[in-house]
Amino acid sequence: MRKRISTWGSCWPIKDEALREFQTAAKLAPGDVNAHWRLGRLYRTMGKTAEAKVEFDKAKTLNRNEDERLLKVMSKTPAGGQKSGSLPEAK
């Protein structure tokens, strides 16, 4: 009978390195939704649910702000008189 070798323990050094990288990314780009989302996902896989929730909440807030900013930009009427994203009327 072959002995089953667990690979779970060998993942932790990789997760620790990923954690440092994602934490650095979130610090260097605090307005980056993806940095906080990925950090939250990693925390969740590590069983750190409180830390994951904090990062997911940051990502959610940033995403909401980005959506509102995009809606403002898209609703502005450019110099040609058409709203952004609309096609010219057929003549």
Q: List, for residues 23-46, the tens digit of each pLDDT value.
A: 999 999 999 999 999 999 999 999
**Is residue 14 over pLDDT 60?**
yes
Q: How far apart are CA 45 and CA 36, in angstroms?
A: 14
* pLDDT tens-digit map of 44-59: 999 999 999 999 999 9
By percentage, how much of the chain surpasses pLDDT 70? Answer: 70
Domain 13-70 has CATH 1.25.40.10: yes
How far is 49 from 91, CA to CA, in rounded Å? Answer: 59
| In the predicted structure, residue 11 carries a pLDDT above the cut 70 | no
Asked whether residue 89 carries a pLDDT value surpassing 90, the answer given is no
Helices 8-28 and 33-45 cross at an angle (nearest 10°) of 160
Q: Where are the domains of the chain?
A: 13-70
What's the angle, vertex CA 45, arms to CA 43 and CA 47, rounded to 5? 70
Other CB atoms within 10 A of residue 59 CB: 21
